[in-house]
Amino acid sequence: MAPVCAVVVAGGSGQRFGNPGGKQLVNVAGRPLMSWSIRAFDRSDKVGHIVVVCPAERRAEMRRLAIDPFDYDTPISFADAGDTRQDSTRAGVHAVPAGFEYVAIHDGARPLITTEAIDHAIDVLMGDRSLDGVVCGQPAIDTLKIVDGDNIVETPPRELYWAAQTPQIFSVDAMKRAHAAAIAEGFIGTDDSSLIERMGGRVRCVQSPRDNLKVTVPEDLRPVTAILLGRMAEGEDLPHVQ
């Protein structure tokens, strides 16, 4: 059996995006935004199941628009989103079927992730048993400033910094323990890795494509759409709709 279950988090309200229905079902280059992420995981032979985390009241809509019309081979199930992203992630992790050793947590609003990047990150994690997880991302290329209000306090060496993305891939057991500890101690992390890190877990950064952009506001759709259309023009196959 493939060792990894993907958890695609699609529980956001779309407040910053400005769409009451959220952004996950917005049409991007011919298919709903979140379905691009599902497609990338579906194409990995290392992923044996996909859990989509979304609001309970939107489950039928998401299945009808983002799952049923497309020819996915990987089994897909749902988990109910919580009040926060951390709550949603926890629900997704606990919905991972028995038998999977690893969970790959991914933002449904990052449609540009590639199967190659997913497989590479999984290989890095599985190749080093001392690791509790890996985080896809990119080393910082901009000069960074620490500021107090508008005043620059310090210019730290940028080689120490990475921009964290998703997927973030962990041992299922470690992620469950990390969530339990966070609940017990009232900790809210800025990403999934921070829950593992605070427990002393060893997490490694793995470079993913720099264009693994997250759609947060409407203007993010323009570059994302352009990149997807460019990939198709360069020979990637078009989405297959049943």
Each residue's pLDDT expressed in tens, for the chain with a length of 242 residues: 899 999 999 986 555 555 555 689 999 999 999 999 999 999 999 999 999 999 999 999 999 999 999 999 999 999 999 999 999 999 999 999 999 999 999 999 999 999 999 999 999 999 999 999 999 999 999 999 999 999 999 999 999 999 999 999 999 999 999 999 999 999 999 999 999 999 999 999 999 999 999 999 899 999 999 999 999 888 765 554 44
- Residue pair 76/52 in contact (Cβ under 8 Å)? The answer is yes
Separation CA 113–CA 168 (nearest Å): 12
Q: Which residues contact 178 (CB under 8 A, 6 or more apart)?
A: 170, 195, 196, 198, 199, 201
Extended strands (E) in the chain:
4-9, 27-28, 31-32, 47-54, 76-80, 102-107, 133-139, 146-148, 151-154, 162-171, 203-207
| Residue 182 φ/ψ, nearest 5 degrees | -65, -40
CA separation, residue 205 to residues 123, 156, 193, 219 (Å): 13, 19, 10, 28
According to CATH, the topology of domain 4-136+164-233 is Spore Coat Polysaccharide Biosynthesis Protein SpsA; Chain A (3.90.550)
> pTM of the full predicted structure?
0.93
The two three-digit tokens of residue 27, written as one number: 């049409």
The one-letter code for the residue type at 113 is I
